[in-house]
Structure 1
Amino acid sequence: MRMGKKRGLIFFFLIISLSLYVDAYKNYTVGDSLGWYDILENSKIDYHKWTAGKNFSLGDFLIFNTDNNHTVIQTYNFTTYKLCDYNNALDNDTIEWSAADPSATTPQSVSVAVPLTKVGMTYFFSSDYDGEQCLNGQRFQINVTYGQGLPPSLRPDDGSPGPVSPESGDDESVPDTLVPSNFDNPKDTTDDQDETSNSIPLSAFSKLIGIQLHGLLIVLGFFILYC
């Protein structure tokens, strides 16, 4: 077999193997290790830079690491976002996932998992101190694509996800993904961690098969090249 044909086959196998990972649901830790704060607390905060180059799709989750002195507001209304105004937002286009706790004497750590459930532009900001945190850089906007669509646990027929209270940690409705304990690295896995169960969820099974096929295709490609 000619070298050109061999390289063509290897390229074909690599494209197929890489496509196995394109539609995997992901967790994105907002701000990475810097968390969810404004520039008055951390001058290195730049959420516009954080969103650059990322592809957000239905079924993905945003993980907000912050404290109870900051809020997590999601809106589909650009005016609400631009004005940093949660108080005058409409109920059907804005969600408060985590509220501030003015009674707290010391800041308490909060981790909030927010699912992406609607295609198109969506906006996030902190509304605490009458929008002052938002005006000081604690906000960003992203474009959500369809991807592989919503997983069953996030579809309207199965119940829409509700806001996460500041006291709660990982949202139990997080589908097909596991929120890492250090919240620094997105990780694709199953949320079914019941050690007493011998069954394998369909999502976990499909990903396992995908990993095996990925390795098999790479080995096959090198075999064609050198044999």
Structure 2
Amino acid sequence: MARSGAGTTMAGVVMVMWWCMVVQRLEATVFTVGESSGWVVGVDYDAWAKSKNFKLGDLLVFDYSSAYAIDEVFENDYNTCNIDHPISSDNSGSTVISLLNAGPHYFICGTPGYCAQGMKFIANVTA
């Protein structure tokens, strides 16, 4: 039985979209936040983040103990270390965040007191 032209076109479009997603994932860079130190007090995360070139589709991997958490927050909450209104929050000990939007992404430790001790950084994501 022959396929209709519209069905063939739709199948082609779906295949192209799938392929673009695969290629984007293959080109993604995985960044381990804090490198071998992980997500802990005492690492200069600002310097670490400024030395990176974050792009759409890249992944941030946070490895940390149960004493810490990772929150993505809005700029004002980043500036004041406010953990009350996170965009997202996790305290599982291993968090992977996909950078899906261009622009600044603000991350802080969601455990009270640690953001003020330097557990925060901005990932500026380019398209």
User: Taking structure 1 as the reference length, what is the TM-score of the superposition?
Assistant: 0.43
Give yes or no for the alignment of 1:121 onto 2:104: yes
Report the RMSD for the aligned CA atoms in angstroms.
1.7
Query: For residue 170 of structure 1, what is the aligned residue in structure 2?
Result: none
Partner of 1:25: 28
Q: Which residue of 1 aligns with 2:80?
A: 83
Please identify the structure whose Cα radius of gyration is greater.
Answer: 1
Query: 1:99 maps to which residue?
Result: 91
Aligned-pair CA distance for 1:117:
1.2
Name the TM-score, length of structure 2 as normaliser.
0.74
Query: What is the rounded CA distance, in whole Å, between the counterparts of 1:116 and 1:81 in structure 2?
Result: 17
Long gaps (5+) in structure 2:
1-25
Identity across matched positions, percent: 29
Amino acid paired to 1:95? S
Deviations 1:101-127 (A, max 9, x none): xxxxxxxxx221111111101110102
SS in 1 for 2:64: strand
Q: Which runs of 5+ in 1 are unaligned?
A: 1-22, 40-44, 101-109, 147-227
User: How many positions carry a matched residue from both structures?
Assistant: 102
What residue in structure 1 maps to residue 64 of structure 2?
Answer: 66
- Code of the aligned partner of 2:70: V
Q: CA deviation at 1:99?
A: 2.8
Residue type at the aligned position of 2:67:
N
Report which of the two has the higher share of strand.
2
Counterpart Cα distance in 2 of 1:61 and 1:142: 11
In the aligned structure 2, how far is the partner of 1:117 from the partner of 1:85?
23
For residue 51 of structure 1, report the CA deviation from its aligned partner.
1.5
Q: Distance in 2 between matches of 1:53 and 1:46?
A: 11
